[in-house]
Amino acid sequence: MFSYIIGDGDMITGFKLVGVEGKEVSSADEAQQALNNVLTRKDIAIVLISEEFSSQASLREQIDKVRQERVTPMILGIPGSKGPSSRTELSDVISKILGIKI
């Protein structure tokens, strides 16, 4: 099982450096389309989405629906490269998720 990231270019580059596949997006519509595509894959266990997109209403509804109806993939909103919406550092989130120190 693999992880997948949906976010801006900086996020995608950072996660690719540690072996995580992803899709660069620049709008909530693109993020929603990327999520729809990844949900068709059986090999993805964790989907990480930039909070910039996952906090928007249309995508939030879809994420909540997937969480209610499916066991996998686990979908998590994480702080983006432009700055976190909370006080959690992106490097701390990556360390917790991947089990590596950055």
Q: Yes or no: say if 79 and 51 are a contact pair by the CB < 8 Å rule.
A: yes
Is the Cβ–Cβ distance between 3 and 22 less than 8 Å? no
- At 43-94, the pLDDT tens digits run 999 999 998 888 888 888 888 888 888 888 899 888 876 655 555 566 766 6
Alpha helices in 1-102 (DSSP H): 9-17, 28-39, 51-54, 57-69, 90-98
| Domain segments of the chain as ranges | 2-78
Task: State the fold for domain 2-78.
Answer: Rossmann fold (3.40.50)
Tell whether pTM > 0.85: no
Amino acid making up residue 43? D
